[in-house]
Chains A and B, each alone.
Chain A
Amino acid sequence: MALYSRSGRPKPQSGGFELAAWYFMRLSGVALFVLALIHFSLQHFLFDPSQETATWIFNQRWNSLFWRGFDWLLLMMVVLHAFLGMRTVTMDYLKGGTRTFALTALYLVGTVVFVMGTIVVMSVPLTLGK
C-alpha cells in the first residue's frame, strides 16, 4: 500500500484500468530492461551502424525467426510502455480539450507506429540461408 513514492507514480488506489496500467508499466519495464538493452548492445556494441544496411538487416540480422520475434516483442512492449508513460505525462500537464486532443493524437500515433513496425518485421521475405 505505497501511497507515497519517492520518484515513481504512487500506486493508484482506485483499481480498474489505472491500477492495471500501473502494474503493466512495471511488468513491461522489467521486460524492456532485458529486451531494449540487448537490442541496443547488438546494434551498437556487437555490430556497428556503418555495416547495418537494409541488405544486412534482411540477409543477416532478420534472417532468423528468433530475432524477428525478439524485435517484434520489443516493439510491442516499447509501444505500450512509451505510450502509457506519455499518457501519464500528458495528463500531468494538460487539462480539458487540449488534453483530449493530445491523448487522441498520442493513441493514433501509437497505433500507426505499432502497425508500421509489425508490417516491416513480418513482410520482409525470410530466406533462412536459401
Chain B
Amino acid sequence: MLLRYRGSEGMVAWAFHRISGIAIWLFVLLHVLDIYLAGGNPNVYDDILKFYASTPGRIMEVLLGGALFYHALNGLRVMAMDFWPRLTAYHKQIWYANWVIFVVVGLPGAFIIIRPVLGL
C-alpha cells in the first residue's frame, strides 16, 4: 500500500524520503552517543570505531551514505517545486535526474568506503 496509494514516482519519492529521514535520525542518535563517549570514555569510543571500520560497519556506512544522499537530492527537488510550483509538471524528470546524480556520484563514493574490505 505504501507504494500503490498515489502510485507512480511521486509516491515512491515521498516514501523513500520518509524512510531515509527516519534512518538518518536513528544514526544521528547513535552518532551523538558515540562522539560523547569520545570525550567521556575514549577507550569505549575506539572500540565502537573498530566496528565502524569493519566489513559490516562499512556496508552500513554505504547504506547511510545512500540514505543521506537520496534525502539530500530529493529534498532539493521538493524545495525547488515548493518555491517554483511550475516545476511540478516535471517532477518525474527531476526525480530521474536525481537518480542519475545519485549513481554517478554515489558509486565511486561507495567504492572508496568499501575498498579496504576488498583489499584494494
Query: Is B119 close to A, CB under 8 A?
Result: no
The answer to whether B65 and A6 touch across the interface, beta carbons within 8 angstroms, is: no
Interface residue range, chain A: 35 or more
- CB contacts (< 8 Å) of A21 on chain B: these are none
A36 and B25 within 8 A (CB): no
Q: Produce 1/0 per residue, B68-110, CB < 8 A to A.
A: 1100101111110111010010010000000000000000010
Contact B65–A36 (Cβ < 8 Å): no
Interchain CB contact (< 8 A) of A86 among B22, B58, B69, B88: B22
Specify the main secondary structure of chain A where it touches its partner: helix
B81-A116 in contact (CB<8A)? no
The yes or no answer to A15 lying at the interface (CB within 8 A) is no
B59 at the A interface (CB under 8 A) = no
Chain B residues bordering chain A, tally (CB within 8 A) = 48
Of residues 41 through 96 on chain A, the ones whose CB sits less than 8 Å from some CB of chain B are 41, 44-45, 48-50, 52-55, 57-58, 75, 78-79, 82-83, 85-86, 89
Cβ contact within 8 Å between B38 and A36? no
* Cβ–Cβ contact A7 & B52, under 8 A: no
List the interface of chain B (C-beta within 8 A of A).
Answer: 10-11, 13-14, 17-18, 21-22, 24-25, 28-29, 32-33, 35-36, 38-40, 42, 45-46, 49, 52-53, 57-58, 61, 65, 68-69, 72, 74-79, 81-83, 85, 88, 91, 109, 112-113, 116
Provide the bound-state CA to CA distance between A5 and B91, in Å: 10
Closest to A4 in B: B88
**Cross-chain contact B18 with A89 (CB below 8 angstroms):** yes
8 new A-B contacts at CB < 8 Å, known A30-B76, A40-B65: A6-B81, A6-B91, A8-B81, A36-B72, A44-B65, A53-B45, A54-B39, A54-B45
